[in-house]
Amino acid sequence: MWIFNSAFGKIFKLIFFPFRGMNPWVGMILISFLTALLMLFVFRFSSNQEGIRRVKNKIKAHLLELRLFKDSLSLSFKAQRNIFRYNLKYISYSAKPLLVMIIPLILILIQLNLWFGYEPLVPGQETILKVELEEGRSPLDIDLALEPSAGFDIQTLPLRIEEESEIDWRLRAREKGVHDLTFIVNGQRLTKKVAVAQKPLSKISPMKVRRSFINELINPGESPLPRDLPIKTIRVKYPAKDMNLFGWNIPWLLGIPPWLIVYFVLSIILGFVFKGIFKVEI
């Protein structure tokens, strides 16, 4: 899985490379545009374009029928029934491209979350480093040490929470850069990357997870932790990234982060804008 994550992640690195120093909106518009193109492409080649065109015309015709024969109750009902029927058909024609899109889209979203979901730390900023152990494992019994790093001050002694099988530290970012936090667990060395004061558009991996398909799929930012260690995750708390539109911070909406709202809205708008050019029937 890590090989796939690494390769897939590199594509995004390549896409965003020229735009890292620019306002994240530039990268967002670009990736939304590419996503719109991808969606149009998938739609164009995986859907029954002729069928879609036909049912859309049918729906239009029955809508017209509804207006023309509004005085006739029986015709109106018939028209409504047909509109409903062709709508279902339209949905069935759209289902296939949507099914084709869903997996790549999830993979894209997981990658985008690394680029747009978090703000890097700034020098002087404090954060919590959290090591989550496997269930039932007491943090008092594990031989785990955090090595000092040039990029960070370790500000507290380890805080061990037995109930949560967790060990926490408070760190303060010291220097710019992507730093490795090094742990020694049962004599084995582990590292976790931490980003400090990166360019406006930077990839940030908040969590390093133990090797497993689902874990790695959802957290593709770093190589996984070995299975033989009692550590489930190592997490660094980063602030959430704001999407600022002319001074207005786009708010979270029902738990959906601002970047995701922007991404969906832009992708849909751009999809509609370019569907004529690429002659795609949506």
Partner 1 sequence: MNHIDRREFIKLGLAAGSILALGSSDLTIKAFGKRETPQKVLVLGLDGIDPHLLQVWMREGKLPYFQMLARQGDFIPLITSIPPQSPVAWSNFITGTNPGGHGIFDFIHRDPERYFPEFSASETTEAKKTVRIGKLVLPLSGGNVKNMRKGRAFWQILEDYDIPATVFKIPANYPPVATKQRTISGMGTPDILGSYGIFNYYTTETKELKEDIGGGRIHPVNVIANKVEARIPGPVNTYKKDRPESSIEFKVFIDPVNPVAKISIQDHEFILKEGEWSSWKRIHFRMIPTQSVSGICMFYLKQARPNFKLYVSPININPGQAALPISTPKRYAEELEKRFGPFFTKGLPADTKALDNDVLDDGEFLEQDNLVLRERLNIFDYELARFSSGLLFYYVSSTDQRQHMFWRLIDKEHPSYDPGLAKKYGNTIENIYKEMDKLLAKAMEKVDKDTVLIVMSDHGFSPFRRSFNLNTWLKESGYHTLINPWKQGREDLFLNTNWSRTKAYSFGLNSLYINQKGREAEGIVKPGAEKEALVREIAHELEDFRDPKTGERPVLRAYIAKDVYQGPYVEEAPDIIVGYNHGYRTSWAAPLGRIPKEIVEDNTEKWSGDHCMAPEVIPGILLTNRKIKVKSPALYDLTPTILQIFGIEIPKEIIGKPIF
Residues that bind partner 1 (CB under 8 A): 126, 128, 140, 155-164, 168-170, 237
Sequence-distant (≥ 6) Cβ neighbours of residue 214 within 8 angstroms: none
Q: Nearer Cβ to partner 1, position 43 or 169?
A: 169
Q: Nearer Cβ to partner 1, position 134 or 164?
A: 164
Q: Is 127 within 8 Å of 170 (Cβ atoms)?
A: yes
- How many residues in total does the chain contain? 282
Minimum Å gap between C-beta 148 and partner 1 is 17
Pair type for strands 159-161 and 166-173:
antiparallel
Q: Nearer Cβ to partner 1, position 21 or 251?
A: 251
Q: Is 225 within 8 Å of 239 (Cβ atoms)?
A: no
Q: Nearer Cβ to partner 1, position 139 or 230?
A: 139
Minimum Å gap between C-beta 262 and partner 1 is 21
Q: What tokens appear for 148 in the block?
A: 């000092």
Minimum Å gap between C-beta 218 and partner 1 is 21
Minimum Å gap between C-beta 169 and partner 1 is 7
Measured CA to CA, the distance from residue 133 to residue 230 in angstroms comes to 6
Measured CA to CA, the distance from residue 270 to residue 250 in angstroms comes to 20
Strand partners, 248: 245
Neighbours of 53 (CB within 10 A): 12
Q: Nearer Cβ to partner 1, position 50 or 141?
A: 141
Q: Is 211 within 8 Å of 226 (Cβ atoms)?
A: yes
Minimum Å gap between C-beta 197 and partner 1 is 18
